[in-house]
Amino acid sequence: MIKIAPSLLAADILNLARDVKMLEESGAHWLHIDVMDGMFVPNITFGPQYVSALRKITNLVLDVHLMVEKPERYIEDFCKAGADYVTVHCEATPHLDRTLQLIKFHGKKTGVALNPATDVRSIKYVLDKLDMVLLMSVNPGFGGQQFIESTYDKLNELKDLIGERKIEIQVDGGVNDEIGTKLVACGATVLVAGSYILNHTNPKKAIDLLKNISKN
């Protein structure tokens, strides 16, 4: 089954609890939390406090996407705050293997994110430590950007690299139902969608359309 992970970057920060409840009632599986530090990416967003506040109001999977330089500095904080998945960018640390071990040490699921220009082979030697790979289909830093078409080829390469291993394949950036259909056909198992779901006139309908992809 395809997992749908709305990005809270597109939620109304002053009505966060309302939006989370609406996403739960609309059948979202995960909540995707975009953490940006103003260094790895130009934008600044949320910290561990945001995750602990969410943890108090929802049982949905909290999927934390760290767009942060040297993420190893913050793994413990985000794990203790209640993250379920912690995803770090392979471009953001010289110590990817150690950082993944740290996430596992705290009992959480590991993810590695790849920017659009990063070769999938850069994660070849950490595959045995991964629960998820996140392919960025926009350049990280902002919601509402246009999907990058080369992501489809990259997905095919990633699937070959992963082989029979049980690793979730998440795609993040510019996803809607039409693009999602092609992504799932190429092997994506988790779809992140921010603007498409939260700016939709009927977010439940947007989630339903994404959820129904697997049945097509």
Q: Which of residues 42 and 97 has its CB atom nearest to ligand 5RP in the complex? A: 42
Q: State which of residues 29, 60, 62, 65 lies at the interface with ligand 5RP (CB under 6 A).
A: 65
**DSSP code per residue over 130-162:** -SEEEEESS-TT-SSPPPPTTHHHHHHHHHHHH
10 Å CB burial of residue 216 (0-12, 13-18, 19+) is exposed
- Min CB(163)–Co ion separation in Å: 26
- Total Cβ atoms within 10 A of residue 109: 17
The answer to whether 42 contacts ligand 5RP (rule: CB under 6 A) is: no
One symbol per residue from 106 to 145: x for binding ligand 5RP (CB under 6 A), - otherwise; what is it? --------------------------------x-xxxxxx
The answer to whether 32 contacts ligand 5RP (rule: CB under 6 A) is: yes
Q: Which residues contact 53 (CB under 8 A, 6 or more apart)?
A: 16
Which option in ligand 5RP, Co ion, none does residue 137 bind, with CB closer than 5 to 8 A by kind? Answer: none
The answer to whether 34 contacts ligand 5RP (rule: CB under 6 A) is: yes
10 Å CB burial of residue 165 (0-12, 13-18, 19+) is exposed
Which residue among the candidates 37, 63, 84, 172 is catalytic per the annotation? 172
Please report, as a single letter, which amino acid is at residue 64: V
- Min CB(63)–Co ion separation in Å: 8
- Total Cβ atoms within 10 A of residue 79: 20
Q: Does the annotation place 107 within a ligand binding site?
A: no
The answer to whether 10 contacts ligand 5RP (rule: CB under 6 A) is: yes
Which residue among the candidates 19, 34, 37, 84 is catalytic per the annotation? 34
Q: Does the annotation place 122 within a ligand binding site?
A: no
Q: Residues of 33-64 as b/e, b for ≥16 C-beta within 10 angstroms?
A: bbbbbeebbeeebbebebbbebeeebebbbbb
160 is annotated as an active-site residue: no
Phi-psi region of 20 (alpha: psi -120 to 50; beta: other; left: phi over 0): alpha
The answer to whether 172 contacts ligand 5RP (rule: CB under 6 A) is: yes
Q: Which of residues 101 and 141 has its CB atom nearest to ligand 5RP in the complex? A: 141
Q: Which residues bind ligand 5RP (CB under 6 A)?
A: 7, 9-10, 32, 34, 65, 67, 138, 140-145, 172-175, 192-196
Q: Binding-site residues for a divalent metal cation, please?
A: 32, 34, 65, 172
Catalytic residue positions? 34, 172
